[in-house]
Homo-oligomer: A and B are copies of this chain.
Amino acid sequence: MDLVAGIDIGGTKTKIGLVAKNGDCLQQSFFRTQEFENFDDFLIRIKTEIEALEAKLDFPVNLIGCGIGAPNASSRNGTIENAANLKWKGSVPVLEKFKQHLDVPMRIMNDASAAALGEMLFGNAKNMNDFIVITLGTGLGAGIVANGKLIEGYDGFAGELGHIDMTLGDGRLTGLNVRGGLEAYVSATGLKRTVLYMLCKYMDESRFRDVAYNDLHGEDITKAAEEGDPIALKAFDYTAKIMGLALANFTAFTQPRAFFLMGGLVNSGKWILDPLQTYFEDYLLEVYKGKVKILTSGMEGKTAAICGAAALIWEEQN
């Protein structure tokens, strides 16, 4: 059976799976990325995992390729470059090195762009030519599809929408030291920062007056909103407002048919999605109103990142 190895390299975990043409992930595993100081040791571990997964299947596997999603990956150069959350610094020639260990067709791409390809091949964006996937985890990532093709950019770094500044250079700093960067507001981390901002700005009673920043978790903010905590409600409203404005701005760029949201912040459900919908329509230019949908990803769950990475190879088989 023809299968693709989908590999998602994250700051914490590296996930590996064997993915069939229909998007089913037949086997999967993960290990901790940070265990590996040496990048070659890391690649050897990936190869070992792939072989172990193949052995678990009770039919012969024809590995037709290997797709990799990673932060700060350049699809054109086959590299990971200066990733803030990974140990390997500078420009890491991922494909060049991995080909020394495994001789199959390989592609690497920014994880959010891979997610967009996954959404197009296996998820809710089938037959859609213009859409944007937004990942809302520790940061904010984006995969942009226009004219039916992923926008990769001149050397493969398009879609860094988490680092767009919407404050005229006068806002919060992101991890990349970008002032006013969107992900400092709109992401799981951004929501936590906004809880602090609201605790500072208002004097409402709140359960979060007894919680330190490092003990704040997204689920607790959702739970507090359900209980009517005024700081949690204000934090969701503020996050939704900035996100609504951001998605309205993005619409003016490529006029997508839909946005697909995925990642931790989406788990807050209606607390973020309902006000987001209202602010978004309000901020949209007249000519776009009522035309652009905000949807959740059809790839949610443990294998979304793996299938997105595998889509890099399956896309080329069509």
A157 near B255 with CB under 8 A, answer yes
The answer to whether A283 touches B249, judged by C-beta atoms less than 8 angstroms apart, is no
| Cβ contact within 8 Å between A154 and B287 | no
A163 at the interface (CB under 8 A from B): yes
Q: Residue-by-residue, is A207-241 near B (CB-CB < 8 Å gives 1, otherwise 0)? A: 00000000000000000000000000000000001
A210: min CB distance to chain B, Å: 30
Contact between chains at A248 and B285 (CB < 8 Å): no
A152 at interface by CB-CB < 8 Å: yes
Contacting residues, chain B, for A161 (C-beta < 8 A):
252-253
- Judge whether A159 is part of the interface by a CB distance below 8 angstroms: yes
Q: Is A57 an interface residue (CB 8 A)?
A: no
Most chain B CB neighbours (cut-off 10 Å) among A166, A283, A291 = A166
Q: Which of A47-55, A58-66, A96-104, A142-150 contacts B (4 or more CB under 8 A)?
A: A142-150
Q: Which chain B residue has the least Cβ–Cβ distance from A160?
A: B252
Among A250, A283, A288: residue with most chain B CB under 10 A: A288
Closest to A129 in B: B154
A283 engages B169 (CB within 8 Å): yes
Q: Roughly how many angstroms separate A82 CA and B178 CA in the complex, as a whole number?
A: 37
With known contacts A166-B165, A169-B245, A151–B157 Cβ distance under 8 A? no
Interface assignment of A176: CB less than 8 Å from any CB of chain B: yes
- Report the minimum CB–CB distance from A239 to chain B (whole Å): 12
Minimum CB–CB distance from A71 to chain B (whole Å) comes to 11
CA distance A291 to B154 in the complex (A): 9
Residues of chain B with a CB closer than 8 A to A151's CB: 146-147, 253-254
Number of A positions contacting B (CB below 8 A): 49
**A256 on interface, CB distance cutoff 8 Å:** yes
A166 pairs with B163, CB closer than 8 A: no
Is A168 engaged at the interface, CB distance under 8 Å to the other chain?
A: yes
Q: Bound complex: CA of A191 vs CA of B156, how far in Å?
A: 34
Instruction: List 20 additional contacts besides A154-B256, A169-B245; criterion CB under 8 Å.
Output: A129-B154, A144-B254, A146-B146, A146-B147, A151-B253, A153-B255, A153-B256, A154-B257, A155-B255, A156-B255, A159-B253, A160-B252, A160-B285, A163-B285, A165-B245, A165-B283, A166-B168, A168-B242, A168-B245, A176-B285
- Nearest 10 A-B pairs (CB), nearest first? A153-B255, A160-B252, A158-B255, A154-B257, A164-B249, A146-B151, A130-B154, A147-B149, A154-B255, A157-B287
- A selection of 27 A-B contacts at a CB cut-off of 8 Å is A82-B286, A82-B287, A146-B147, A146-B149, A147-B149, A151-B254, A152-B255, A153-B254, A154-B256, A155-B255, A157-B255, A158-B253, A158-B254, A160-B287, A161-B252, A163-B252, A164-B252, A165-B166, A165-B245, A165-B248, A165-B249, A165-B283, A166-B168, A167-B168, A169-B241, A176-B285, A178-B285
